[in-house]
Amino acid sequence: MSEMKFQVLAADGRVKAESTGGNRVSLVFEEAYEEGDQIVFTTERTGMFYQIQVDDCLGEGVVYLTESRWVFDIPFGEKRVSYSPRVFMGERHLLTAQPAEQRELEGRRNLALNVLDQHGDRGCFPHASANVETRGESVFAARNAIDGVLENLSHGEWPYESWGINRRDDAEIRLDFGREVEIDEIVLWTRADFPHDNWWVEATFEFSDGTEKTVQMEKSIAPHRFPMEPKKISWMKMRDMKKAEDPSPFPALTQIQVYGREL
């Protein structure tokens, strides 16, 4: 039986707590987190799906791991405000992990969703990255666009975190799936904090298979849905966004959902 392990590490690398398991591993950490703490999950099996929970408030994520060691940095200070204020608080924390059950992977689902996503390619997919994030602030990070939070009527701290482009005309966001998937629809929840916000009237999706799709949008608080013929891809980008003729210089993306199936 292959082994999985959870560790909570201090900033100096000291092991605060750890637990191992075969088919499932869990760790109850009964201390308050301190700045610099990390959760480390290791596994002997990669290139497969796992159900991982690093905090009961954040919830469980179904992710595809390509590396044997995955690190989650506990957020503090400014990095905390893009998460619920209840996350990682208190002196009792439940961490769990197991290989994903087949029922979690079957059928059509949002392949972009990852509540565990963080900056940098950590071998945990799906993963969002961008060429700009407004002022480097966590409330405007690319990861916010795939965290599952759809509230788009304001901007700033959770639950109104979004991907902000700092007024850049060449802004683009990229989604990496870590494996090939089949997609058939893209749904955009653009931020709608009017009149503070502008909105995009056009954007182009670029896909790893070499194809592109240009779409039109309008001012709306509702999601923009773009069905398409099924295509097999491993990554995609959204780029060449065009703002509306409006005094506000601030269009932004609250969430991108990519529906499809595993291959």
pLDDT tens per residue across span 146-190: 999 999 999 999 999 999 999 999 999 999 999 999 999 999 999
Name the percent of the chain lying above pLDDT 90.
Answer: 96
- Confidence band of 122 (pLDDT split at 50, 70, 90): confident
- pLDDT given at position 238: 98
Outline where DSSP puts E strands in the chain: 4-9, 15-21, 25-29, 38-43, 48-53, 61-65, 69-73, 93-99, 109-110, 124-125, 127-130, 163-164, 173-190, 200-207, 212-216, 224-243, 252-262
Q: Closest Cα to residue 21, out of 46, 39, 43, 54?
A: 43
* pLDDT the model gives residue 104: 85
Rg (CA), the chain: 19
pLDDT, residue 1, reads: 53
103: left (phi over 0), alpha (psi -120 to 50) or beta: alpha
Classified as helix, coil or strand, 32 is coil
Residue pair 125/134 in contact by the 8 Å Cβ criterion:
no
Instruction: Tell which residue, 45, 46, 50, 53, has the closest CA to residue 62.
Output: 50
Residues in the chain: 263
Instruction: Give the rounded percent of residues in the chain with a pLDDT score beyond 70.
Output: 99
Mean pLDDT in residue range 197-204 = 98
Indicate the Cα dihedral angle 52, 19, 2, 111, nearest 10°: 10
- In the predicted model, is pLDDT for residue 120 greater than 90? no
Q: Tens digit of pLDDT for each residue in 6-53?
A: 999 999 999 999 999 999 999 999 999 999 999 999 999 999 999 999
**Band (249; pLDDT cuts 50, 70, 90):** very high
Q: Find the DSSP H helices in the chain.
A: 102-105
Picking from 259, 255, 191, 253, the residue whose alpha carbon sits closest to that of residue 227 is 259
- 121 pLDDT tier (thresholds 50, 70, 90): confident
* Prediction pTM value: 0.95
Whether pLDDT at 143 is above 70: yes
In the chain, how many H helices and how many E strands?
Answer: 1, 17
Residue 103 has pLDDT above 90, yes or no: no
Looking at residues 58-83, what average pLDDT do you find?
96
Q: Which domains does the chain have, with CATH numbers?
A: 4-105 (no CATH), 109-262 (2.60.120.260)
Q: Is pLDDT of 211 > 90?
A: yes
